[in-house]
Structure 1
């Protein structure tokens, strides 16, 4: 069934069980789209904020409404029979994180039940300064569940939508003022590679202990803070010619007790972990060449807001730090450092280079990998 703006229909035409899926796919160049669902009462208000379903709260308390996101698509699974009696309406909205809805290239709304499927195509044509739109409503009238295509612009963004429905945004506490900095001192326990091309050699003839690599970054979190998924990875070539990639993408976490003797311990998708992401080179003397890089797996590229830094540490040796302080916001990949095995040591060199893909990193450093699509 093809739907038109303003069209209404009874959900009984689509589902007899009360189970349905509402899918929204949005292509919004230059921004990300936040697709949300407001469960409101008879007065049109969000009287229980647990029924505001969005990326930081993906399910209602009893599971009657749940949300799954993948790329540009959001899917709401709804069980009308489990909704509490005070909920009279489910309102699905779309908000631009930046820019306006005028930039909306294409959107697709589908409603699926076991009996039929309905679809509605929408674009940004006709919109100007609106930052959001109320897309559709599932509502109860005279004891019967119905569906309506609204497609109406809304001047504010997601915060304004929340206020419109009577909700209140929880804002993060203001940061505590930092104490006055102490007099600068030379830190003998850390070497900072501050300029591209600067290097430091680790003497492996005296110390072959494992080298630990830590990636950490800052997250500014409020109710609507999505957070950037920043991943640690490396491409390596061993002295025996074996080479590969260590990363969470494709579950290529490596191994500690067999080649390549490189292991990524986890994938911190939120940035909330105080320890960030960690990788260990258990046999550094076997490394011929490797590059350590970070990439933004999810979220709009914005290196400036991450304050990302990587620290290489080895017991008995000073830490080596590389800070991303010259960010390029247009690329998702940043090669932080290279490791080159030569003359009984491992030379750590600051790279500070930005790329748009794994292939581009590979091409620059001449590994010659064959790339296929992967996921976490």
Structure 2
């Protein structure tokens, strides 16, 4: 598509894919969406991005990143049938982390039918320079139907500038650009062809649009752990009190395959995938244990071990997934915590999964990382190790796939790898 052009979107739900080619020195990018009424959000809850991944209506959610070789994508799901009638446009934006979009090769946005995966629209951005945020496109209503427009308008003030321009309140200091810095000029409103006036009749006055619940100012900062920068101090990020949520979400890259019993031929398996998020803990007083769905060992938040598993999820969605909560008000009670994940059923290894881990303290920036591609027949993966050090807690990215020996459980395997020294018995859930 050319900049400014539009196309009909006949699907009731779509996936909006932001894509680019990654590599050394290439900034990371993040997709976001703003739900607008008369050109502005109704409240900060109308902003969907990595720190606020789902709209209250359920119509828009951030599904997260995945890497396929050098190709990187970040995806938004938009259920057009559930977008509230008051919403006129859903702006589809991108922000760069660690540099300008002029250093991001192959930047594009495309709209896919969420059901069939068919491509409905694609816009390639080829003229980026100093911009650190972009409005790449928008979904808008036209005569009762949805259309997509390629926009391609950039900001040199990053996600903060883009968000505030649409009415978002940002909980971070405003940065003033130098007088010589290029300034963004919002594009002129699009002039739509007039439509014939409808016949007039007496009707009750329309009900005012109900804005989503008011929220605290959004926080744009985040920390991404990588192989080259694998650890972070919670104290330095201000995350030393309150509840810290640990979320694991995943998607299946392809259908799992396994060996059937009929003449040894490969057959497809159609089982539900069930991953379990777990935590081994060691307290300062020497007590050890595990928090997991197996054996209904869900833990407790306000008494030892001060770790609680919220439930057992099988969808892997970013708005749900598997969640642990750690009570940082009792951080001095911890010696170490190992967050790990096991495959309970539905797959023989992590090889065909793409998973993201996000730790969100009540105070301080969220911490996230993706799992590396699995190349071994692993059914247990150590995700993150949290250690107590001089009154501080340090989060260390592990992303370590382990292969259990014959007849050895995933829990016993991760225990042995990290020297926990616990006794294990069979369990069920």
TM-score, normalised relative to structure 2: 0.43
Flag the structure with larger Rg: 1
TM-score, normalised relative to structure 1: 0.49
